[in-house]
Amino acid sequence: MVTNGFIAPSSLSVKDLPWQVHWSRDRCTLCGRCTAVCPVHAIELAVFRKRAVQPVLGLKEPPSSLFQVFYGIRQKTDPAYACIGCAMCTMVCPNEAIIPVRSDEADKLRYHVNRGGQPRRRGGRRNMPDGVLDRIKFTRISMLTDPALDAGRHEFELRTLLGRILPPEDSLQLLKDEGWIPPVREIYPLIIGGMSFGALSPNMWEGLQMGVAYLNEELGMPVRMCTGEGGCPPRLLRSRFLKYVILQIASGYFGWDEIIHALPEMKEDPCAVEIKYGQGAKPGDGGLLMWYKVNQLIAAIRGVPSGVSLPSPPTHQTMYSIEEAVAKMIQSMSMAWGFRVPVYPKISGTSTALAVLNNLTRNPYAAGLAIDGEDGGTGAAYNVSLDHMGHPIASNLRDCYLNLVKLGKQNELPLFAGGGIGKRGNLAANAAALIMLGASGVQIGKYIMQAAAGCVGSESDRCNVCNIGICPKGITSQDPRLYRRLDPELVAERVVDVFLAFDTEFKKIVAPLGRSTSLPIGMSDALGVDDRNIAERLQIRYVV
């Protein structure tokens, strides 16, 4: 063994990595499941050599060295194979012999994950655990309400409207004159946001759709789910379940051939059409489905060759300006369904959101605006975009709502907020806070992946390999060997569990505030926060 083994600048020790795999030789049965399941091949079976001095009893023979060989698990230190902390090894180990442990100091890997001049690309989340939403409290308890509302017994109507709502005078006049009144859907305020067929595995998608269908048909909860860009399986397009689906169109137009062709055969209109201009996790970037995930099925639905990366451009390149894009696309999408389907754009949280909103208020066909804040997740993005780009949702949404109030158009153009709702698990509280700040409803993506499918990602850079199709849980993988791990039926059950639990918690928030028959949109007098600056910025109460 040479004393000065080859050490390059990027030679890292295990200690330099964000995750160290602790393995117990005493407990290991050498079954090999951990190395088989590791999505990034961070561990391998290894042969270890060991010298031991073995003194012999008596004086007949002198003490001697004994060389032993044993087998075990070795963690690779090559940056390309660094452990991502997903803990699938722990999950499959029969003896609890192995577990990844987070380093006790900042890792050095972050300086070396740009090999070949390629900056780090990953899927997932922003990896910042904190946020304003969790600091907001509901401070206006309705003590004058005597008797108080009972979340368990009183009737609640937790519904929101998706679609352009005309001022009462115009609306009633149009009704009288039999004029065109924009379509409006009464839906549940918690929406499953755009995660495409392609970004998600077929099993995950099927599970979500089944869950949504059950919620609607068996439990009477009008839950809606957005497709994301990438089209929709043809059978779904022609089924009655399409009414629970919000079709998304983005700048790559992936899957839209299929949708357009299915139009004459559609039994139901979709719930709505969402035109994606941006997403919170990587504002100003387009979509990207990396080639690892474009298998034959995905290629067929999207109408592209398989095995190639599918980037959507950051803008709708057939349009001259956002004004034109918003006007023309909204109008033509509306027209495609005979002006019976609400069409609205989705943008990333940005300080220019107000400009888009003002533009929409003057467009009679615009049915709403979805804003996705910086904490949104994505299937694939550059690390720098995920971590550093974008606008927090709370103030962005609040600005937009207050702007509508100023124009007298609050809730005429419903605002839907996304990005970081429930990122610390407080789904109902975060959603309620956003609704009281002015959102008509909220969109969730990551939360539903974590809650319904057991996505192991967390807000501390764990896993985050959604982009390369090796999702260890089979949620975002297109490899049948992986997505077979995910049972769609069980995902559907979890979706139902999540929505029912949310419903209960949401009632537990609105009931003490005295609200039950209408969603407390804009009920900002109920909110308080322990930071004077936040309070001032959001125009809510400062409480300590």
Q: Contact residues for another protein (CB under 8 A)?
A: 140, 142, 144-147, 149, 154-155, 157, 161, 165-172, 175-176, 181, 184, 186, 405-411, 513-518, 520-525
HSE toward the beta carbon, residue 270, CA cutoff 13 A = 27
Q: Report in angstroms how near the CB of residue 409 gets to another protein at its nearest.
A: 8
Q: How far is the CB of 171 from another protein (least distance, A)?
A: 4
Q: Are 140 and 540 in contact (CB under 8 A)?
A: no
Tell me: is residue 28 an annotated ligand-binding position: no
In 140-282, where does DSSP find H-type helix? 168-177, 202-217, 234-237, 256-262
Nearer to another protein, 325 or 513 (CB): 513
Neighbours of 106 (CB within 10 A): 9
Which residues, at least 6 apart from 143, have a Cβ–Cβ distance to it below 8 Å? none
Task: Return the number of the residue (29 or 517) whose C-beta is nearest another protein.
Answer: 517
Dist. CA 324–CA 330, nearest whole Å? 10
Alpha carbon distance 189, 185 (integer Å):
11
Q: Which is nearer to another protein, 81 or 156 (CB)?
A: 156
| CB-count exposure of residue 13 (10 Å: 0-12, 13-18, 19+) | exposed
Q: Please give the Cα distance from 352 to 403 (Å, whole number).
A: 13
User: At a CB cut-off of 8 Å and minimum separation 6, what does 351 contact?
Assistant: 391, 396
* Residue number with CB closer to another protein (176 or 481): 176
3-state secondary structure (DSSP) of residue 447: helix
Q: How many CB atoms lie within 10 A of CB 291?
A: 13
- Least Cβ distance, residue 225 to another protein (angstroms): 21
Residue 287 gets the label, from left (phi > 0), alpha (psi -120 to 50) or beta, of beta
- DSSP letter (8 states) at residue 315: S
**For another protein, the closer CB: 457 or 522:** 522
d(CA 457, CA 463): 5
Contact status, residue 255 vs residue 300, Cβ threshold 8 Å = no
Residue 164 vs 485, nearer CB to another protein: 164
In one-letter notation, the amino acid at residue 427 is L
Alpha-carbon distance 340 to 80, whole Å? 51
Helix (H, G, I), strand (E, B) or coil at 380: strand
Q: Which is nearer to another protein, 221 or 444 (CB)?
A: 221
**Smallest distance, another protein to C-beta of residue 227, A:** 26
C-alpha pair distances (Å), 310 with each of 287, 303, 453: 8, 11, 25
CB nearer to another protein: pick between 199 and 529 = 529
CB of 142 to another protein, least distance (A): 6
471 is in an annotated binding site: no
The residues near 94 (Cβ < 8 Å, ≥ 6 apart) are 29, 31, 33
Dihedral through CA 418, CA 421, CA 423, CA 427, nearest 10? Answer: -150
466 carries a ligand binding annotation: no
Cβ closest to another protein, residue 127 vs residue 411:
411
- Rounded to a whole number of angstroms, the minimum distance from the CB of residue 405 to another protein is 5
Shortest spacing between CB 163 and another protein, in angstroms = 8
d(CA 368, CA 505): 26
The answer to whether 93 is annotated as binding is yes
- Minimum separation from the CB atom of position 158 to another protein (A): 12
Q: Do residues 199 and 478 touch, judged by C-beta distance below 8 A?
A: no
Between CA 443 and CA 416 the distance in angstroms is 7
- Taking the C-alpha atoms of residue 253 and residue 228, their distance in angstroms, rounded to an integer, is 11
| Nearer residue to another protein within complex by CB, 54 or 173 | 173
The distance of closest approach from Cβ of residue 510 to another protein in the complex, given in angstroms and rounded to an integer, is 9
Q: How far is the CB of 516 from another protein (least distance, A)?
A: 6
Q: How far is the CB of 177 from another protein (least distance, A)?
A: 10
Going along 349-435, which residue ranges are E strands? 369-372, 378-382, 415-418
Nearer Cβ to another protein, position 294 or 521? 521
- Strands 43-54 and 64-75 turn out to be antiparallel
Binding residues: 83, 86, 89, 93
Binding residues for [4Fe-4S] cluster: 83, 86, 89, 93
